[in-house]
Structure 1
């Protein structure tokens, strides 16, 4: 661990939190490990031009019973232990002699960056009520940092901020190294150690070349001004319509009602399977967002989902596979067809795209990419799109480090664009789902007033 840095105050010019960074250290695996290298594969490489994936978890201090210094030390001690099996997160991006990207780890590397901060005048309730990310980004590290910058900086960073009545844990993960399933496997394992476990219950499966072993050389360098690519420059800000974020909370009863409506033709007339909760909620959002955008009937609208391929590849990979094993699935239709038909029409479009993305389709997609590699940008999701990241399958509210479950789980401001949404399990548990979505301001204003979308009628 390194020494503290001088105190720095981070404050947005307008409406930001007053957050004081009081120190910064680096955490390595508690045991020294031999140098390790792991090739990035076709499932990883397209995300080099995305930004670090950000998560924010808010925890209460149980009425002052849990003190911030003790929380920080417990988290650092647990991190030292859990980084032994998850050592890749303590490494850096590198390239081998042939120019193939890989994750490199050795004991001379700094490890995971951990910043400590204070925002004593901020309450958890204020942050839970916050709908946008402009304020929350002060609590999360690596805003506007491209994954490619993992060549020069840690692959994981944490900011622990003392609040008036709790702690904010902001995490940034290099998305070229791991996907959502791997992220929450790591988080739950870290929490497990902090609760007193001697070892984690499920070790990560680190042999990512078992899923794909084609070596792809990429000639990609950092842009001169990565901040401008994230819309932070005045020119970019002027060109891009302003976005708003909002969290819509769907109760278990609302989810059941949506699913029942979409499956009202039962069995489906075309012989397909009943629509899942995910497909039912997705078409509900897709239709109402399309309506809120006031698209013309002939305008094409695209639905995009980043699908987990662990069970779809041959041979299948374990759930504990550590890396990216996702692919973007794109499907679309005319706005008029989506809105004039009953919801099962759109659900069928989504279901067909998901079902058809089988082993052969995944292999074909990989071969096409390997023959002509394309580095995606985070907003390459399609026209008038609704794109789904994260999954309500992830047990985000079970990440308990020893002082209770989180009060709220959110995504940061990175990788946001018009139509991007994150699905999380609701805090109430069961089948409740939180939908965190970014839209242009006018469309968001119309969506907020849509009683049918909100399930208020």
Structure 2
């Protein structure tokens, strides 16, 4: 499996469509989408997966799949929009359209049973947890709708949620695919944890989602996009074969060392562990790119805006509430001033992310809804796109067990295959350890792995 032409094949054994076990009281028919939800119509689905070792108690993959069918049917009672499809109403006189979720359309969410074990290929856990590059694009086949050409607008005909169970020689990979128009990473992990709780017989323990789109005062619930046809805004990107993927693990000790160093020359003791880690990674990738001194080096951090709303929203509020905190520096300044200075830049950016900014952005986007041309935006940066930190080391990624025990690791799918994209996850051992799934141009990745300072912090 050392090259893309010799990738193992994942065989689909069966697929099932799952509807809610019974129809709950659904306050919104249809399920409305906010301005921040609609931004994602032209971007890929979200893909997050968990790798488990096969426990001796697992009688067969079939029994796992059967239990998941029942659990999904129960979970979808509370997460009912995920069982529907996108729907569009067109307004020809206005050259506009309204996209929403119809919970009653389509056969339901999808559950896929697959196998990566055959006469030709026998995929093991070590193929996934050892150098990620060796199976790079093969990981996409562990996620339903992992095709690079699939975008969220395809939720008109494709499921809004799909769960794929892939049998390995010594493990099980459960891949979760969710339409990004329905929610962000917080929402996806909320569903995964709820599904696991139901599977484990703890269905009364999880906090139910709040399924209500948020609009600025005076706007919504119908937000018209300034397009009559989807061809006006959909941008399907090709696979960039120049990229490499790695997962770098930072132990709690390494993160602590970075935090201490980032605060050495700063009077502000509020710099967090993650801000120090992000600054160190930003600085290291800038060094690996080795661009001219006057070049801009951009660092964008995903931030959950729920606590910044007025009034604040709980984490269980389903939908898209992620904003990008954008920090920039000239290469010369970043190289000259080092970690403490970079960490302070990021800290100032985080401190400027406040209620006033969030509510102003909500009003602006609700008043002029649109679809984010993210591919075109990132392409405009050429080979020096911003580092984008997505995900969070605070997600409960190792809480969901599905009767298999604690997961060995977590992985992401195609939607993270972009130059400069960094997916943040907690480390398996917890206690503040962090995994960074990093995607860079191959030559940049080689330079990063040859950087003794960067690698000295990697476990």
Q: TM-score, normalised by structure 1?
A: 0.89
Of 140, 152, 170, the residue aligned with 1:137 is 140
User: What SS does structure 1 have at the residue aligned with 2:432?
Assistant: coil
Q: Deviations over 1:341-381 (max 9, x none)?
A: 03121112211122112122122223443455442244435
Deviation, 1:401, is: 1.1
* Higher mean C-alpha deviation, range 292-301 or range 215-224: 215-224
Give the 5 Å matches for 1:250-289.
250-268=250-268, 274-289=270-285
Change (3 A) 1:141 1:65: closer
Supply the distance in 1 between the matched residues of 2:365 and 2:291 (Cα, whole angstroms): 32
Partner of 1:290: 286
Change (3 A) 1:361 1:225: closer
Change (3 A) 1:34 1:321: closer
Change (3 A) 1:37 1:213: farther
User: What SS does structure 1 have at the residue aligned with 2:394?
Assistant: coil
Supply the distance in 2 between the matched residues of 1:49 and 1:213 (Cα, whole angstroms): 27
Supply the distance in 1 between the matched residues of 2:163 and 2:322 (Cα, whole angstroms): 24
* Higher mean C-alpha deviation, range 216-225 or range 135-144: 216-225
Give the 5 Å matches for 1:28-39.
28-33=19-24, 36-39=29-32
Give the 5 Å matches for 1:340-419.
340-379=336-375, 380=377, 384-419=385-420
Deviation, 1:248, is: 0.5
Partner of 1:4: none
1:162 aligns with 2:153: no
Partner of 1:299: 295
CA RMSD of aligned residues (A): 2.3
Q: Which runs of 5+ in 1 are unaligned?
A: 1-11
Supply the distance in 2 between the matched residues of 1:355 and 1:348 (Cα, whole angstroms): 10
- The 8 Å contact of residues 123 and 164 in structure 1, kept in 2 or not, is answered as yes
- The 8 Å contact of residues 32 and 212 in structure 2, kept in 1 or not, is answered as no
Supply the distance in 1 between the matched residues of 2:292 and 2:217 (Cα, whole angstroms): 42
- The 8 Å contact of residues 250 and 457 in structure 2, kept in 1 or not, is answered as no
1:229 aligns with 2:236: yes
User: What SS does structure 2 have at the residue aligned with 1:116?
Assistant: strand
Deviation, 1:64, is: 6.6
Q: Deviations over 1:157-204 (max 9, x none)?
A: 122111112211122110111001111011001000111124242010
Task: State the number of aligned residues.
Answer: 433
User: What SS does structure 2 have at the residue aligned with 1:115?
Assistant: strand
Partner of 1:6: none
User: What SS does structure 2 have at the residue aligned with 1:346?
Assistant: helix
Change (3 A) 1:274 1:13: closer
Q: Which runs of 5+ in 2 are unaligned?
A: 92-96
Partner of 1:119: 116
Of 293, 305, 322, the residue aligned with 1:326 is 322
Partner of 2:9: 18
Deviation, 1:413, is: 1.6
Q: Deviations over 1:220-274 (max 9, x none)?
A: 6444997x82214xxxx5xxx7010100111111000011000112533xxxx52
Supply the distance in 2 between the matched residues of 1:210 and 1:135 (Cα, whole angstroms): 40
